[in-house]
Structure 1
Amino acid sequence: MTHTASRRTVLLATGATALAVGCSDNDDNGGSASATTSSAAVGDARVLARTADVPVGGGKIFKDEKVVVTQPTEGDFKAFSAVCTHQGCTVASVADGTINCPCHRSSFKISDGAPTGGPATTPLPAERITVQGDSIVLA
């Protein structure tokens, strides 16, 4: 006998999984460390983190997804590609209002991904995220 899961069953199961991936690697100074937890799937989207995992005025880098999520002001979440537009290195930190690339010291604003220093002249491309309750979901 074949059993087919309903959409509701799948959503409930993935929602429980999403709650289990809320671990944070943030350091004590409001900066961020790379995420090492894998994201949970919700339909075609993936839960990256809980909103509490992204500090106000800072951000969190998701190396596997090549995405950086920032919170420039309380409750305002942004997402950008974590691939530097200069030569394709993965950004390594978020501190003092900028997303920072270790390769040639390019930096980008956490509010809009615009370059603020270094050789990069092109902004980090925006990524699509939504906030669903206390979850940040990558579309």
Structure 2
Amino acid sequence: MTSTDQTDTAEASGLSRRDLLVRGGAVGLGVAAVGVLAACGASSSGGSGGSGAAGGSGSGGGAAGGLAKVSDIPVGGALATKVDGKPVLLVQQTAGTVTAFSAICTHQGCTVMAAKTDLECPCHGSVFGLDGSVKQGPAPSPLPPVDVHVVNGTVVAGKG
């Protein structure tokens, strides 16, 4: 089919060449936007310093019905897991003391990841201390704490 034939076909269907190009461009932008939104919402685990997903959910999953074993959380670092389906970072600032924080960045809701000595948001560069405090913005407030406690070397969700 030649260019003239394509134009004639489009015009016969009531659409001008300009309408076809505008509609095609809008569809392309929509597809691109879906890809960008999917990338922003994707959770990722990894990074350095022993971070990763433990796969726990609620008070089940993970290590023997808990979220993780204390021994799996690096001292001076953090481990990613989930509590009630929400991303959480288990932190062991000093040996044997485990705290937890929401892994949802207080800036725009991206998933914060464990790094060597702090917690980092990959989306806009916010950095949080292992105590959840903001070390570098744009995050406006600290990461909210999540209740966890240790039972026989295993971190479990909830107050102890």
Pair in the same fold by TM > 0.5: yes
**Structure 2 match to 1:102:** 122
The reply to whether residue 59 of structure 1 matches residue 78 of structure 2 is yes
Q: Which digits, 9 at most, give the CA deviation of each residue in 1:60-85, with x for residues without a partner? A: 11154311101011111110001000
The reply to whether residue 138 of structure 1 matches residue 157 of structure 2 is yes
Gaps of 5+ in 1: 1-24
**Structure 1 match to 2:36:** none
Counterpart among 97, 121, 129 of residue 148 in structure 2? 129
State the shift of 1:40 in Å: 5.3
Indicate the percent of aligned positions where both proteins have the same amino acid.
42
Change (3 A) 1:108 1:59: same
SS of the counterpart of 1:41?
coil
State the shift of 1:94 in Å: 1.4
State the shift of 1:114 in Å: 0.3
- Return the alpha-carbon distance in structure 2 between the equivalents of residues 78 and 56 of structure 1: 12
- Return the alpha-carbon distance in structure 2 between the equivalents of residues 47 and 40 of structure 1: 6
- Return the alpha-carbon distance in structure 2 between the equivalents of residues 119 and 30 of structure 1: 23
How many residue pairs are counted as aligned between the two chains? Answer: 109
RMSD over aligned CA atoms reads 2.4
- Return the alpha-carbon distance in structure 1 between the equivalents of residues 117 and 49 of structure 2: 10
**Structure 2 match to 1:20:** none
Counterpart among 103, 120, 125 of residue 82 in structure 1? 103
Change (3 A) 1:102 1:79: same
SS of the counterpart of 1:69?
strand
Change (3 A) 1:114 1:122: same
Contact conserved, 2:56 with 2:66, CA < 8 A, in 1?
A: no
Change (3 A) 1:135 1:99: same
List 4+ stretches of structure 1 deviating above 2 A. 34-42
Contact conserved, 1:26 with 1:53, CA < 8 A, in 2?
A: no
Structure that is richer in strand per residue: 1
Gaps of 5+ in 2: 1-44
